[in-house]
Amino acid sequence: MSPNPRTCVGCRRKDVRKNLVRIAARDSAAEVDEQATIPGRGAWIHPDPGCLNRANRAHAFERALRAQNLDMTKIGLWLESIVSRDVHDGASQEAKKAGRNPMGTR
């Protein structure tokens, strides 16, 4: 583990920074800060639906960012894009592993 691990606000496990994504508050909305450059407090989370659900139920972002009534819309959209990209990539990888041509041509 790196000398400066971060803690996921969802599952509460420590992990290296490259496996987590920073969330920051800007104008009463939570935003994904992939470059980790937005000034101010940040919360770290795994890009996983389970971690996001746990963090939302426990109001972990509001507590970590010291902000009330955060708009989580952008975080939900970001996570949906991550999940759909993983599902799509996994399906194409599975077709390649099976030795099939995804287009069905010879």
Q: Is the pLDDT of residue 44 over 60?
A: yes
pLDDT at 89: 64
Confidence of residue 88 (pLDDT cuts 50, 70, 90): low
pTM of the model as a whole: 0.75
Residue 9's nearest CA partner among 56, 48, 44 is: 44
Angle, CA of 72, 77 and 79, to the nearest 5°:
95
pLDDT at 62 over 70: yes
Backbone torsions φ then ψ of 45, nearest 5 degrees:
-150, 150
Do the strands 21-26 and 29-33 form a parallel or antiparallel pair, or are they unpaired? Answer: antiparallel
Hey, which CATH number is domain 6-97, 3.40.50.300, 3.30.200.20, 3.30.1230.10, 3.30.565.10?
3.30.1230.10
pLDDT at 46: 95
Residue 44 near residue 36 (C-beta atoms within 8 A): no
Question: Where do the structural domains in the chain lie, given as residue ranges?
Answer: 6-97
